[in-house]
Amino acid sequence: MTAALIEDFTDWLDERDVPDADAFASHAELFLDWRGSAPLPTINDDDLREFLLGWCPRKLSIPAEDSREVCEAVGEFVFFLGSTGRMKGGPDRARSMQQTAVGLIGPMMLRMADPANFGMAKSLFAGISGTETMSQEELTAALQQRMDEHNALPLDQRRAATDRFFEPTPMIETIELPFLYVAPPPADVEAAAARAELPSKVQALRDYLGDTGKVLTATGNLKLADGRALVELLDTGDEIDPKIGEKTFKTQSTAELRRLAYLVELALESGAVRRVNKRLVPVKRWAKKSPVQQATELFQTVVELGVLSEMGAGLSFYDDLHNLLDEGVVHWLAALLAPGARVDFDDIVELNRSVVEYQFSAAAVEYYLSGDSPARDVGRTMEILEMTGAVEWSGHRESVSEWGRRYSTGGTLALTALGRHALPGLLADAGLSLRSAADLADADLDALIAAMGQVPPEQHSDMLAAWQPAMPESERAGAVAAMISGADYARTRLIGMRLLGLFDAEVAEPHMRQLLDTDAAGHAAIWLLENGLADPDTVGGFVTPAVMVDILSELIDEPDILCEQFLVAHDPEAMLEFFWRHRAPETAGVLEALGRHLPDRALAKLARKAAMRHRSWTANQGR
């Protein structure tokens, strides 16, 4: 069969005037040999990637620059199969797969050139020149000579040359997301899981099945009577005996109730129910899992299983398109792990449009892209994701299709605490990775501050909530206040004040009042005034230019801003007079920076003089 197929392919290439048809046919035959007995109609994009980026770099001994010819040959062969009715999807799908193969030229070239990808056989061939023109006998003799040379090497050299082929294949390098991940507080995750609809629907299904389960049909589906009951019980939205115009279409099987069938499939895949002896029965182990575990597993099953591909109509083109869109869900969800992230529904629709346009020929997707199908598909996906409790969908609006079916679009999307908890477990398989703060539950205060230094300020509240959650909040605030009161440097005081300010005012207030007896007195007084917890007559005297020294010390590397902040003071000369008698270690650096950068020459001279007086004063203080 292979020989006849390759002969047909060669004739097809000749008719199309493809240069070097024999070489293309040879590469196609190699691809067929690699697939073995797998049926032709099942060839897909994953097969192309595995052959061109996995098998060839390890097994095929050709120059890296010949990767172009191999990819083009395999792409042409796939197009031949689709054009001659030998592969599902016809020419349109085949053309898309051909584009996939050609798009792998660059990656294959890199892998073919990387010795780390060489398998043992390829490594033995690599040192033999002129293999392209050798006969089979000459090639066998040359390979035998190479093996003899290898076996003559000392044992340690032979091991060094071959042991790597028996080590596990390293993972393909992943893409690191450009933000630090902070896990949500457990209490927030539990609350989000408790609000999720999908676990409740799955539990209702389990309750309906009862201990003994329900009998399945010969095709493995629930009986129609059970389907009718479950559509109402689970509020799936499926229409039984749908009517279009004057014609009623009788529902013949629960397989036609796509949303119900999907919920059953989710329950099966997540382990909540199973098929046993032609019955659908609940799994006892599921009841032992916590609500968070159940909700997490259901959400992850939805993403892994897909929504569109599972509830599609079974048409070849749409199967491929929906598989592509389902695979992309984890990628755009990953972006929502960023702090405060929220995305417009319409942006996801446009993203999907661009992906479809890139992966499929224009003719194949013209009808799909010309209407509201992309928005409807995102809406269908979002309805299920929202049901899991992992995604919050705000501000969406309801529309009606030309067939009278209701669907939702628009609004904005964000992850809930459950989504932030469950999604990271899916990233590795999607080629993504997260930088995460070290576990803060048992971290000390120094570790918390170090982790906060790696993230934008909007993440600090979440990190503080995750730090030492078992410790009473007043004690946690007290630990921060103790750090502030013992601080020798301005940066520590400022970081501590920011941390203490993240607590609720009623928690922070008593500690702020205690800080009035420390070097942070001015900062504490300002906080009390800003929060309406003290009046100027009571704490105003604590606010001195010492506060400004702390703040300016953080701006030394930005002299323009430093000078701007200093000049805001109503009496700069009085400030300088205070500064030179201030014992903080940052004072000298602040005065020197002002002396170099103040635009007012007279004021700059005063700052330089204050710096000299400060050095003399501190020297005398040390006697």
State pLDDT tens for residues 222-269: 999 999 999 999 999 888 888 777 788 888 898 889 899 999 999 999
Residues in the chain: 623
CA 594-599-603 angle, 5° bins: 60
Nearest to 70 by CA among 112, 39, 27: 27
pLDDT score recorded for residue 160: 55
Q: What is the pLDDT of residues 21-71, one digit of tens each?
A: 888 999 999 998 888 777 777 788 888 888 888 888 877 777 778 888 998
pLDDT confidence bin for 348, thresholds 50/70/90: very high
> Strand, coil or helix: what is 397?
strand
Q: What is the pLDDT of residues 383-392, one digit of tens each?
A: 999 999 999 9
pLDDT score recorded for residue 168: 45
What's the rounded mean pLDDT across residues 439-445?
80
Tokens of 155: 């044992």
Supply the mean pLDDT for the chain. 84
- Beta carbons within 8 Å of 391's beta carbon, 6+ residues apart: 333, 336, 382, 385, 413, 414, 415, 416, 419
Q: Which residues pair with 281 in a beta bridge?
A: 274
Cα distance between residue 193 and residue 525, in whole Å? 42
CATH fold for domain 316-422: Arc Repressor Mutant, subunit A (1.10.10)
pLDDT score recorded for residue 438: 55
pLDDT score recorded for residue 314: 54
- For residue 172, pLDDT beyond 60: no
E-only strand ranges, 163-303:
175-181, 214-215, 243-244, 247-248, 273-276, 279-282
Domain ranges of the chain: 2-117, 188-305, 316-422, 544-623
Q: What is the pLDDT of residues 450-490, one digit of tens each?
A: 877 767 777 788 788 888 888 999 999 999 999 999 988 99
Own/partner long-range contacts of 601-605 (Cβ < 8 Å, ≥24 apart): 603/572, 603/573, 603/576
Cα distance between residue 159 and residue 578, in whole Å? 74
Q: H helices within 486-571, ranges in order? A: 490-502, 505-514, 521-530, 536-539, 546-553, 559-567
- For residue 129, pLDDT beyond 50: no
Count of other CB atoms within 10 angstroms of residue 89: 19
pLDDT score recorded for residue 420: 94
Tokens of 380: 């269908």
What's the rounded mean pLDDT across residues 573-600?
93
User: Ramachandran region of residue 237, left (φ > 0), alpha (ψ -120 to 50) or beta?
Assistant: left
In this structure, the strands spanning 432-436 and 175-181 are: parallel
What's the rounded mean pLDDT across residues 59-88?
84
What's the rounded mean pLDDT across residues 578-584?
91
Q: What is the pLDDT of residues 537-566, one digit of tens each?
A: 999 999 999 999 999 999 999 999 999 999
User: Taking the alpha carbons of 169, 173, 174, 179 in that order, is the dihedral positive or negative?
Assistant: positive
* CA-based radius of gyration for the chain: 34
Are 202 and 272 spatial neighbours (Cβ–Cβ below 8 Å)? yes
Nearest to 198 by CA among 389, 381, 377, 326: 389
The more confident residue out of 401 and 195 is 195
The more confident residue out of 288 and 166 is 288
In this structure, the strands spanning 412-415 and 343-344 are: antiparallel
pLDDT score recorded for residue 101: 86
Cα distance between residue 586 and residue 178, in whole Å? 34
Specify the range with the lowest mean pLDDT, choosing from 20-24, 76-80, 140-144, 353-357: 140-144
pLDDT score recorded for residue 602: 94
Residue appearing with tokens 């950068």? 597
Cα distance between residue 408 and residue 412, in whole Å? 12
Rounded to 5 degrees, φ, ψ at 271 are 90, 15
